[in-house]
Structure 1
Amino acid sequence: MSRIIVTASTPMELSELLAATSARPVPGGAHLPLHRAEMGTTEILFAQTGIGKVNAACAATLLCERYAPDLIVNTGCGGAFAGSGLAVGDLAVADSECLADEGVETPSGWRGLDLIGIPVYEGRGERLFNRIPLDEELARRAFHRATAAGFKAVVGPFLTVSTCSGTAQRGEELLRRFPGVCENMEGGAVAQVALVYGVPCLEVRGISNMVEDRDLSRWDLKRALGEVQRFLALHLEQAAVNRPGML
């Protein structure tokens, strides 16, 4: 039986998926709330990691060590950057992740981790600093399945930050550093751990807000999470039927 692990930071980012897959709580998750479902010959574990990079990395490491997944899917909500083609309620699919606020403030401005010269990952012929690659074929298939099912989706680079951008100016600053369509707080950490363990990783998020001057009246968290979980329930089911264990 193949195994997929789906991670998200909060209960609301998994609740509809748990209901759609009839997932049941399971012991053995240590500090992580963990649920299990089966689709054909595929076992799916749903794990609530907690917010931020440290929680996400801790959870992803525990899950890789304990359950040896064939695939990790990271999900939740995200903020869309201006010019991304995304709007509130759309889906964003990551073709790469970036640790977008880890670097050095210099007299001439911000610089990435390459200025320090110490990579966050070195192996398999790669030295990676801020950008973490994801499985582009997994991203492509998810994007095409989403659009074929009637979801509005965009695929592109994601930026992971420790401080959410609450101004348009901050969003513009991040985009000057790195290209990106979506901002989040966990994806780069999950992607980095998956890379270390050699596990393919897919990240799909629902857009809850634009990266602009913070105005909660323009947010729609419920819609964003409903759309992304509805898509992932479909994606997981079709993958289990058509190509067991593969997305």
Structure 2
Amino acid sequence: MKLLFVVATRKEISGILKLFPQNKTLLYDKQELFSVNSENININILVTGAGMMKTIYQLTKHLLKIKYDLILNFGICGAFDRTLRIGEVIQIKSDLFSDLGAEDGEVFKTIFEIGLLNENTLPFKNGKIHFDAEVNLPCLSNIKKVEAITVNTVHGNDTTIKNVVEKFHAQVESMEGAAFGYVCKMENIPCLQIRSISNYMEKRNKENWNISLAVANLEIFIKQFLKESAI
């Protein structure tokens, strides 16, 4: 099985790279790609850069060269849902572009609500991108499945946080997830999105963040995923 791990930044995968000191760094066509090969492991790791633009461009460009059986997006995220713990690893079951649309006075309307796109046009189902690849592993069964949104502007205002939670029932947000899913679904490649919570969504205060814990727990999950996959 050919696997691709997609991350926004090298920091989110640094611990895994250290597990395989023999990994090769392939820098070509302005892409940062790591190739991990050992007796049981054969994975490429693509570092796209943060945000939707870079994710869509770098992933699409890469998939024009190499095809995969399964692609996984690993990263950190912020949580609206305070029942989720800082550092907790979760699986995204659906994601959407929450700021793609238009303002109508005080009301935000999605691209579907203003009639520019049908909410069931491929790859959307009811306006969402669903991560439904069938991968039966205990590590996936043991983590919560949550609803996500993807944004260009990270939320840090009480009013907009309240609005987006009410409109989309969002539990977490990232800057890449739906973009990643969009490309994979359009290319008909099974995909999963796994994230670890680094902070709660509130007025921006880095003192309340714990990126180190989120990254450490994400690495633990990835190690378990590799072990259970017996790749």
- For the criterion TM > 0.5, the same-fold answer is yes
2:122 is aligned with 1:132 = no
1 CA distance for matches of 2:189 and 2:13?
21
- 1:13 alignment partner in structure 2: 12
Q: From 191, 196, 203, give the equivalent of 1:206.
A: 196
Counterpart for residue 45 of structure 1 = 44
Corresponding residue for residue 98 of structure 1: 96
Tell me, in whole angstroms, the C-alpha distance in 2 between the residues paired with 1:225 and 1:141.
20
1:119 and 2:94 matched: no
The alignment's TM-score, normalised by the length of structure 2, stands at 0.89
* Worse overlay, 132-141 or 219-228: 132-141
1-structure distance, mates of 2:124, 2:95: 15
Alpha carbons 1:8, 1:49 under 8 Å: kept: yes
Matched position secondary structure for 1:6: strand
Q: Is the 8 A contact 2:147 2:172 kept in 1?
A: yes
Q: CA distance change for structure 1 residues 65 and 11 in 2, over 3 Å: closer, same or farther?
A: same
2:220 paired residue among 230, 233, 242: 230
- TM-score where L is the length of structure 1: 0.84
Give CA deviations for 1:67-116 in whole Å, capped at 9, x if unaligned. 10111111111001134x21211112101111111111113511111123
Q: Percent identity?
A: 23
Asked if structure 2 preserves the Cα contact closer than 8 Å seen for 1:97 and 1:133, the reply is yes
Q: Following TM superposition, where does structure 1 have runs of at least 4 consecutive aligned residues deviating by more than 6 angstroms?
A: none
- Name whichever structure is richer in helix by fraction: 1
Cα deviation, residue 139, structure 1? 8.7
Quote how far apart the aligned CAs of 1:57 are.
0.4
SS of residue matched to 1:165: coil
**Whole-Å Cα distance in 1 between the matches of residues 138 and 116 of structure 2?**
34
Alignment of 1:32-181 (within 5 A): 32-38=31-37, 43-83=42-82, 85-107=83-105, 109-119=107-117, 122-123=121-122, 130-135=127-132, 137-138=134-135, 142-144=139-141, 147=142, 153-181=143-171
Structure 2 Cα separation of the partners of residues 87 and 67 of structure 1 = 37
Q: For 2:31, what is the secondary structure of its paired residue? A: coil
Supply the RMSD in Å over aligned alpha carbons: 2.3
Gap regions ≥5 residues in structure 2: none
Gap runs ≥5 in structure 1: 148-152
